[in-house]
Amino acid sequence: MKPQRFALTPGEPAGIGPDLCLLLAAHRQPHPLIAITSRDLLLERATQLGVAVTLLAVDPDALPDQPADAGSLYVWDTPLGAPVQAGVLDRANAAFVLETLTRAGQGCLDGRFAGMITAPVHKGVINEAGIGFSGHTEFLAELTHTEQVVMMLATHGLRVALVTTHLPLRAVADAITEERLERVTRILHSDLKDKFGIARPRILVCGLNPHAGEGGHLGREEIEIIEPTLERLRSEGMDLRGPLPADTLFTPKYLEHCDAVLAMYHDQGLPVLKYKGFGAALNVTLGLPIIRTSVDHGTALDLAGTGKIDTGSLKVALDTAYQMAETRI
């Protein structure tokens, strides 16, 4: 069986995404990996970093079937809107960033790529260019015509999915509805089976309130919303435990017997995961008809072009995308 191809988007051109691509090229990948970006950008950044790399132009209608050799990188050349200075944002390149994502996402839908791996974008500069953009997840959901997606971060020994993502804390409780919780739980359960090869996923579910509501004395969301939803899904055969107090759920006693944790909001689950695995963690978008993984960090504009970066998160994102694709075969 020939290797499956994967797309790599470097994200914000003034950030560390191009640097990550170039440093990654030092090692031969197990599958053909195509960077969708500007060839000129990579050449300029390679000179700045003092990195020796051979950039191999590809025809999008005749993509390579073999991995590039160490020291080489396949590039689907995508023109910039303006020259790039490392560390300096330019709204003129906002459309370029979205074009790289479109090429990668559409390539996954068309079957040219088995999955896509994304480096960080800068949401602010894209919005300043007059383009409504709230993030990779929402952009790819619209591109693939997906109504509901789920954000999951993972590192060695821990996966955390979120019922709500980027909401003000005062809005979280109102967003925890039976409908949303059921949709998110179903997507998490399905993708753990289909994309991670877990036959019977074991999922721990956090309560919303301290002590999971303390029997209703610290909030009634557990009693009125969370528990009835979980009980209904358990009746279908899902292995769901909770709602559990979040302050004790993230301990070996519970984690060694689960495949994923479902947290109610962003800062309930992600601080624990990032403490455990920052620099070796990744972001996975669940619910899409395609495989998409990403690094767990930002654009790091101050480090762009310095060579003082760690490729650990990107390597984990790549390895996970490869494994997910093999599971789906």
Annotated binding site for substrate: 136-137, 274, 283, 292
Binding residues for a divalent metal cation: 166, 211, 266
Alpha carbon distance, N-terminus to C-terminus of the chain: 11
Q: Residue type at 202?
A: R
Structural contact between residues 207 and 171, judged by C-beta atoms closer than 8 angstroms? no
Binding residues: 136-137, 166, 211, 266, 274, 283, 292
Residues facing residue 109 across a β-bridge: none
C-alpha–C-alpha distance, residues 84 and 62, integer Å: 29
CA angle 281, 234, 171 (to 5 degrees): 55
Tokens of 98: 């979205």
CA of 124: how far to CAs of 121, 131, 132, 303, 323, in Å?
A: 9, 10, 10, 18, 33
DSSP 8-state code for residue 223: I
C-alpha–C-alpha distance, residues 15 and 88, integer Å: 8
